[in-house]
Amino acid sequence: EKRVGLVYMFNLIVGTGALTMPKAFATAGWLVSLVLLMFLGFMSYMTTTFVVEAMAAANAQLRWKRMEKRKEDDEDEDSSSGVSDTDVLLQDGYERAETRPILSVQRRGSPNIFEITERVEMGQMASMFFNKVGVNLFYFCIIIYLYGDLAIYAAAVPVSLMQVTCATGNHSCNVGDGTKYNDTDKCWGPIRRIDAYRLYLAAFTLLLGPFTFFNVQKTKYLQIMTSLMRWIAFILMIILALIRISRGQAEGHPSMAQLSGIRNLFGVCVYSFMCQHSLPSLITPISKKKHVNKLVLLDYILILAFYSLLSFTAIYCFRNDTLMDMYTLNFTNCEIISVAFIRYFLGLFPVFTISTNFPIIAVTLRNNWKTLFHREGGTYPWVVDRIVFPAITLIPPVLVAFCTHDLESLVGITGAYAGNGIQYLIPAFLAYCSRKDTQLVFGSGTVNKHLSPFRHTFWIVFVLIWGFSCFVFVTANIVLSESKL
């Protein structure tokens, strides 16, 4: 059970982002990359504990409201009507401040009020602990992140297909042999590479787009199959790179530090540590939650080691200028791998794993749009519900992918903006507001048993300052580098 949670979380975090990491590592230099990766891993772990704490606080509040409701129902039966001061609290309003802390819970002797038994999604926590503006900002952030995700997916699949199928020269053996192709190079006959890319993008959209208009859930078998493929692919790439290095065929001479590469590396790392938004569905099913933070810590350490191994073998094995945005595509070359099956497996595995993920993310995004525009009690007209929402979900990412297939920048920008919000700012605000709320409702003596190890307010302030300064840094960097062009 614990191990299942561990593996599940590993699979959730280690995704497409990791494939763009080697290139980002090479561009920023190995020392800078290693330090930044470790620091961002630590920050991400800290905000994970914030989210767990907020989940416990949300569970406590829901449980408490139910207890009060039950107590009231009992009182009503005793016909002792009369407004108790608990009514004020039930009005979910912001008048909580005036009510005195209610200690009835402790008196009943239930230290387990902070048990995480109900799945409280991040959006629900936001609406419990934030005000109107906060809730809208939260949804805005999630929506931008999911759009970025979909755009990355929509570009990664056609790029892989183009790279694997575009025959160059007299035989398809020199795919990725260190020559970077231009989009205008020929693919088959009169068709240029960029045309092939757009054809594949159209096919991808026509095949997977319709799923956005229905409800899809990821089946267990599909999940097991994709994670198995991903594991095999990652391990295979590490082993193949190590074999090349041990044979003395390594060509990489990575630099120690290059400041120009930091912006993208930051975004890629943030994107590659994302799991905060899926924590509720991960942690709620684990039965023994006493050591949940240790479990998450162990996961983060394993993932750090894994990312470092993947990236270091990559940057020593391949020259910086030959490293592809999608690391898998470096292995589609005959001179590097003679076995055709491995070449095609590695080149096409992102196509398979992403294609199973794309509909899930799209449906999630569509539902978030619906929640954002949620009208009290009202449902949407059929056309809006079935046509408009899926359309606004699907069209923007496909347009972005049509205009650019620079995966590294797509990942970098998604991570640096929306990823930053979901990974740093939102968890910090959740921890802060849920602590304040808990004090108001349960009195200042109450201790949340899932309190984050980083319980001092300093940490929250630190995360917020870090998040905002990253925001400023990335923006400044983009503005400066654009003006140079």
> Residues for the chain: how many in total?
485
Produce one character per residue of 196-218: b if its CB has 16 or more CB atoms within 10 Å, e if not. Answer: bbbebbeebbeebbebbbeeeee
Q: Where are the beta strands (DSSP E) in 173-223?
A: 186-188, 191-192
Whole-number pLDDT of residue 247: 86
Q: What is the pLDDT of residue 170?
A: 40
CB within 8 Å of 3: residues ≥ 6 apart: none
pLDDT computed for residue 90 by the predictor: 43
Q: What is the pTM of this model?
A: 0.83
In this structure, which amino acid lies at residue 402? F
Model pLDDT, residue 179? 55
Q: Is 104 helix (H, G, I), strand (E, B) or coil?
A: helix
Using the CB atoms, write b or e for 80-119: b if 16+ within 10 Å. eeeeeebeebeeeeeeeeeeeebeebeeeeeeebbebeee
pLDDT score of 485:
61
Per-residue pLDDT of the chain (485 residues; tens, 9 = 90+): 667 777 778 887 888 889 999 999 999 999 999 999 999 999 999 999 999 999 999 999 999 888 888 888 888 776 544 444 444 444 443 334 334 444 444 444 455 788 888 888 888 899 999 998 999 999 999 999 999 999 999 999 999 999 888 855 444 555 444 456 677 788 877 888 899 999 999 999 999 998 888 877 666 787 788 888 888 999 999 999 999 888 877 776 777 777 778 888 999 999 999 988 888 888 887 777 878 888 899 999 999 999 999 999 999 888 888 888 889 988 887 777 778 888 889 988 889 888 888 888 898 888 888 888 876 666 778 888 889 999 999 999 999 999 998 888 888 889 999 999 999 999 999 999 999 998 888 887 788 888 899 989 999 999 999 999 999 998 988 888 877 76
CB 412 within 8 A of CB 263: yes
Amino acid letter, residue 361: I
d(CA 416, CA 473): 10
CB count in 10 Å sphere of residue 485: 4
Tell me which DSSP letter residue 416 carries: I
Beta bridge partners of 186: 192
